[in-house]
Structures are given as C-alpha cells and as structure tokens.
C-alpha cells in the first residue's frame, strides 16, 4: 500500500510534469485516506489558485490554517490567496494572524 507521503510526492511529480488535473486528483485521493494532511491542502490551495478556482483555493488554505494554527506561513499563504480572490478583509485578518503566530513563536523560542 502506498503511504500518504508517497501519494503527496506523486502529486507533486504530476504537477511538475504539467499534469495539474492529475495532481489535484491524486491529492484528493490522499485526503480520502488522511483528511488532515496539511501539505495536501496547501498544495491544493496553490493549484486551485493557479486555475483561478478561488473558492476552492481559499477553502483549502483555510483548512491549512485550521490544522497548523501556530504556523505563520500558513496564514501568509491564506492572505495571498484571499487577495487574489478579492477577499481583502479576510486577507488582512489572515496577515494579522500571521504576525501573531510569528510573535508567539519568537516569544516561545526565547522563553526557553
């Protein structure tokens, strides 16, 4: 049986070969096995954004933030995808969360 990590690698390989539809399909297969695989949601958000399917892109970017609430980059990515979708208020809120997560990470690092 193929692991979710291998499925993710296969999806990225498909995308790199120009098969965006195949990559998206493979990532959805992966999510049937592990619906909380954050990297798959992150990749889908980027792939859907490239296809200008903004609603789907935002949905997957939001899921990444839900799964990785302490990761500033997840919120930066959500902000960029929201900007592209014309969701400016949500983009600004996501950037605020990115800054908060970054501050929390710095404080945690230096508190030790």
Which fold, 4-111? Answer: 1.25.40
Residue with the bigger pLDDT between 1 and 5: it is 5
- List pLDDT tens digits, range 8-37: 999 999 999 999 999 999 999 999 999 999
Tell me the whole-structure pTM to 2 decimals: 0.91
Per-residue pLDDT tens over the stretch 71-82: 999 999 999 999
User: Is 24 in contact with 8 (CB distance < 8 Å)?
Assistant: no
Domain ranges of the chain: 4-111
Residues in Cβ contact with 55 at an 8 Å cutoff, skipping those fewer than 6 apart? 85
Question: 112 pLDDT exceeds 80?
Answer: no
- The pLDDT of 32-53, averaged and rounded, is 98
pLDDT digits (tens, 9 = 90+) for 51-67: 999 999 999 999 999 99
CA-to-CA distance for 99 and 55, rounded, in angstroms?
Answer: 24
| Residues ≥6 apart with Cβ < 8 Å to 104 | 70
């Amino acid at each position: 049986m193929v692991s979710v990590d291998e499925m993710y690698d296969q999806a990225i390989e498909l995308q790199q070969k120009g098969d965006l539809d195949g990559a998206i399909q493979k990532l959805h297969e992966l999510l049937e096995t592990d619906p909380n695989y954050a990297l798959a949601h992150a990749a889908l958000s980027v792939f859907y954004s490239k296809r200008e399917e903004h609603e789907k892109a935002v949905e997957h970017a939001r899921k990444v933030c839900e799964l990785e609430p302490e990761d500033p980059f997840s919120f930066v990515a959500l902000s960029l995808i929201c900007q592209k979708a014309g969701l400016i208020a949500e983009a600004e809120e996501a950037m605020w969360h990115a800054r908060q997560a970054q501050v929390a990470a710095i404080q945690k690092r230096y508190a030790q």
